[in-house]
Amino acid sequence: MCGIIGYIGPREATPLLIEGLRRMEYRGYDSAGVALWDGEAIEVRRAAGKIAKLEAAIAADPVDGMVGIGHTRWATHGAPNERNAHPHLSADGSVAVVHNGIIENASVLRGALQDLGYVFRSDTDTEVIAHLVQELFDGSLEEAVIHALRKIEGTYGIAVISSRDPGKIVAARKGSPLLIGVGNGENFLASDASAILAHTRQVVYLDDGDVAVIERDSYRVIDLNAMPLPRDVDRIDWDLAEIERGGYAHFMLKEIFEQPQSVENTMRGRLMLEDGTAKLGGLNLSHEDLLRIDNIIITACGTSWHSALIGELLIEELARIPVEVEYASEFRYRNPIVTERTLCIVMSQSGETADTLAAMREAKRRGARTLGLVNVVGSTIAREDDGGVYLHAGPEIGVASTKAFTSQVVALALFTLKLARKRDLSVVRGREIAQALHALPAQIQEVLDRAPAVEAIAERFKDATNFLYLGRGFNFPAALEGALKLKEISYIHAEGYPAAEMKHGPIALIDEHMPVVFIAPHDAVFDKIVSNIQEVKARSGTTIVITSRDEPALRGLIDHEIRIPETLDMLMPILASVPLQLLAYYIAVKRGAHVDQPRNLAKSVTVE
Ligand code: M6R
């Protein structure tokens, strides 16, 4: 999704802005631009397409200065072309604005500004901010921005510079993340910590309603009444190397191969092997609170929603508490049954997904306790939830979520273990689960060691136009996730189904051109899924079977086999999802797709 970067200090800003924009490329974008105060006026350079195009535009018409803002845009209002790219200038060129989010009353404001004689040069909602700030300017940029924001309805993360008050960047946040990077004699602004990490680890996360006035040697945060707000400086504790590819062809591949470590990190210091439970410091739920939970709602989007489905099965199986899994986008627009004894678990890699955040706020408003299972430290969900479990999977840059998914399932298993042991789960069973979790990193490595076999299967199916993914029980969500991975990065149509559901419709699709991926480890429903594989073979379908043993029942039914180690049924989707990630990855690469930044997708979806 859109990215914002800002710089003010003694250095030439252009290369710093471009570097910051590059670091945020993974978020997904379709145009980019920068605006700089060059000592006399504000100069803007923009380009549709990738940042290389912006660099070419700057090379053709160089621009520099020591105060600047930059943006990568993911189109919402208006086509992804140069005139709609940010920054947007006010009518007299004195104000430049970059904006993430959506101004809901943009057309009303646009009409009012047109009545005052303002001529619009883009189709964006953002341009109204630039003209409004010009119109309301009376000597102080922050005051003009505050006045403009009072007229705006919607969501925003903005950065504004002005030639009439040039020694500062004014930023504001409502619903779209922003942070200040605190440097030495220089300061930064960014929507994503990765953009500034090369220059500082000291950051101030802005909250909704905050306005930041950032100057070269200082910064202050004020509210919409210009009253000062205290804000802590946080330290980012991950390294630049973690957001670099480190020899891998793509971030996605790197992140798939990092899973032995990322899963280990999710469990580090938390798994209590002897007691058969987990220690989770940030829960903020006492023993009594855990016993008081009547029902659990898990809300999420996309891949996080798939991990939530596994969470539902885990919690109901072990802790015997009713669980509902809700699409965050639907939850907030219906009338869900939430009481003060409801626990709402919020799953999000980024911690910034707009629908998930809104669902969490709605659950809170209705009296539920909220628990965020989030990867990005300091993200909005992590700061607003009542308690949380960080995934500690490390930065996930590839748009297709991989290591965050496996860490989400592990975090859910840890939480379930703790909850279930407080209720009815015996220590013996708890130990068995804890031991199985403990074994996962080495088992994931075993699966990764078989990547060449998966690549060979990918070669065979790279030109397929459709895929079916089928699984039962704990592996049904893994089938959904496998299908999502394939469609989002290779653009091949893929569907996930519970295997037995196939005969209620999808079976009509099966012929010799339809590859069907079965997740069929030796588990409680193995015999059942064998029947489903037979149904596919009987109709000339081609089977790719992920299984855990040389099963006589499968002989003659498997066209392509991927072997995974055995674990408890409930943890099997973690191991099964790894070859599914690899299959999607290799197929996408062989089709020449842009794996890390698939078309139309954004890493963190901060608009509704
Ligand atoms: O950051 P979140 O986990 O809240 O993101 C939710 C979805 O947007 C995300 O999982 C999306 O489906 C990914 N592209 C999946 O690979």
DSSP string, 417-466: HHHHHHTT--HHHHHHHHHHHHHHHHHHHHHHTTHHHHHHHHHHHTT-SE
The CA distance from 437 to 460, in Å, is: 34
Domain of 369 in residue numbering reads as 245-446
66-79 tens-digit pLDDT: 999 999 998 877 78
Query: Mutation test of ligand 1: which of 310, 347, 350 has the most ligand atoms closer than 8 Å to its C-beta?
Result: 350
Verify that 74 and 111 share a domain, yes or no: yes
Verify that 442 and 465 share a domain, yes or no: no
Q: How confident is the model at residue 2 (pLDDT cuts 50, 70, 90)?
A: confident
Is the pLDDT assigned to residue 58 strictly greater than 80? yes
CB 85 within 8 A of CB 33: yes
Distance 12 CA to ligand 1 centre (A): 36
Verify that 79 and 130 share a domain, yes or no: yes
Q: What pLDDT is recorded for position 119? A: 96
Residue nearest to atom 4 of ligand 1 (CA): 348
Is the pLDDT assigned to residue 457 strictly greater than 80? yes
Segment (H or E) for 495? strand 493-498
Verify that 313 and 183 share a domain, yes or no: no
Q: What pLDDT is recorded for position 306? A: 98
Verify that 16 and 143 share a domain, yes or no: yes
- Of the three residues 173, 206, 237, the one that is the final residue of a domain is 237
Interval 25-39 mean pLDDT: 91
Verify that 423 and 535 share a domain, yes or no: no
For residue 347, is it within any domain?
A: yes
Interval 429-450 mean pLDDT: 98
Q: What pLDDT is recorded for position 606? A: 78
CB 353 within 8 A of CB 606: yes
Q: What pLDDT is recorded for position 27? A: 79
Q: What pLDDT is recorded for position 25? A: 87
Q: Which two tokens stand for residue 62?
A: 């160089």
In SS3 terms, 20-63 reads as: HHHHCHHHCCCEEEEEEECCCCEEEEEEECCHHHHHHHHHHCCC
Is the pLDDT assigned to residue 417 strictly greater than 90? yes
Q: What pLDDT is recorded for position 437? A: 98
> Which are the contacts of 58, defined by CB distance < 8 A and separation ≥ 6?
14, 18, 34, 45
> Which are the contacts of 115, defined by CB distance < 8 A and separation ≥ 6?
none
Q: What pLDDT is recorded for position 239? A: 79
Distance 304 CA to ligand 1 centre (A): 6
For residue 596, is it within any domain?
A: no
533-547 tens-digit pLDDT: 999 999 999 999 999
Is the pLDDT assigned to residue 601 strictly greater than 90? no
CATH of the domain at 343: 3.40.50.10490
201-215 tens-digit pLDDT: 999 999 999 999 999
In SS3 terms, 223-235 reads as: CCCCCECCCCCEE
For residue 603, is it within any domain?
A: no
| Per annotation, catalytic residue among 168, 422, 485, 603 | 603
Helices (H), 449-571: 451-461, 475-490, 526-537
Q: What pLDDT is recorded for position 233? A: 96
Q: Is 344 assigned a catalytic role?
A: no
Instruction: Count Cα neighbours of 423 within 13 Å in the Cβ-side half-sphere.
Output: 19
Distance 390 CA to ligand 1 centre (A): 16
The CA distance from 39 to 510, in Å, is: 67
Verify that 100 and 9 share a domain, yes or no: yes
Closest CA to 360 of 297, 316, 419: 297
CB 564 within 8 A of CB 546: yes
77-128 tens-digit pLDDT: 778 899 999 999 999 999 999 999 989 999 999 999 999 999 999 999 999 9
332-368 tens-digit pLDDT: 899 999 999 999 999 999 999 999 999 999 999 999 9
CB 295 within 8 A of CB 325: no
Residue nearest to atom 12 of ligand 1 (CA): 302
Verify that 406 and 472 share a domain, yes or no: no
Q: What pLDDT is recorded for position 431? A: 98
Residue nearest to atom 14 of ligand 1 (CA): 400
Segment (H or E) for 158? strand 156-162
For residue 495, is it within any domain?
A: yes
CB 52 within 8 A of CB 228: no
Is the pLDDT assigned to residue 588 strictly greater than 80? yes
Lining ligand 1 with CB less than 6 A are 301-304, 348-350, 353, 356, 399-401, 488, 601, 604-605
For residue 478, is it within any domain?
A: yes
120-169 tens-digit pLDDT: 999 999 999 999 999 999 999 999 999 999 999 999 999 999 999 999 99
> Which are the contacts of 135, defined by CB distance < 8 A and separation ≥ 6?
113, 116, 118
> Which are the contacts of 592, defined by CB distance < 8 A and separation ≥ 6?
none
Distance 200 CA to ligand 1 centre (A): 28
Verify that 93 and 72 share a domain, yes or no: yes
Q: How confident is the model at residue 26 (pLDDT cuts 50, 70, 90)?
A: confident
Query: Mutation test of ligand 1: which of 353, 385, 597, 601 has the most ligand atoms closer than 8 Å to its C-beta?
Result: 353
Q: What pLDDT is recorded for position 259? A: 98
Distance 19 CA to ligand 1 centre (A): 25
- Of the three residues 383, 411, 446, the one that is the final residue of a domain is 446
Q: How confident is the model at residue 4 (pLDDT cuts 50, 70, 90)?
A: very high
Residues pairing with 165 in the sheet: none
How many whole angstroms from its chain centre is CA 264? 21
Verify that 386 and 523 share a domain, yes or no: no
CA distances from residue 336 to 69, 304, 339, 359 in whole angstroms, order as listed: 42, 20, 10, 11
- Read off φ and ψ for residue 25, nearest 5 degrees: -55, -35
Q: Indicate the average pLDDT of the chain.
A: 95
- Of the three residues 176, 205, 237, the one that is the final residue of a domain is 237
For residue 297, is it within any domain?
A: yes
Residue nearest to atom 8 of ligand 1 (CA): 302
**More confident call, 403 vs 598:** 403
CB 59 within 8 A of CB 34: no
For residue 606, is it within any domain?
A: no
249-279 tens-digit pLDDT: 999 999 999 999 999 999 999 999 999 999 9
CATH of the domain at 36: 3.60.20.10
Q: Which two tokens stand for residue 522?
A: 């030796």
Which of 12-16, 293-297, 548-552 is predicted least confidently? 548-552
For residue 608, is it within any domain?
A: no
CB 372 within 8 A of CB 351: yes
Q: What pLDDT is recorded for position 349? A: 97
Is the pLDDT assigned to residue 230 strictly greater than 90? yes
Q: Is 301 assigned a catalytic role?
A: no
| Per annotation, catalytic residue among 2, 301, 418, 422 | 2
Count of all residues that appear for the chain in the document: 608
> Which are the contacts of 396, defined by CB distance < 8 A and separation ≥ 6?
255, 349, 375, 402, 403, 404, 603
DSSP string, 357-381: HHHHHHHHHTT-EEEEEESSTT-HH
CB 552 within 8 A of CB 387: no
Q: What pLDDT is recorded for position 283? A: 94
What total of structural domains would you count in the chain?
A: 3
Q: How far apart are the first and last CA of the chain?
A: 12
Interval 187-214 mean pLDDT: 96
Residue nearest to atom 11 of ligand 1 (CA): 302
Q: Which two tokens stand for residue 303?
A: 């891949």
DSSP assignment, residue 271? E
Q: What pLDDT is recorded for position 337? A: 93
Verify that 254 and 377 share a domain, yes or no: yes
Is the pLDDT assigned to residue 240 strictly greater than 90? no
CB 144 within 8 A of CB 137: yes
Distance 301 CA to ligand 1 centre (A): 6
Verify that 400 and 295 share a domain, yes or no: yes
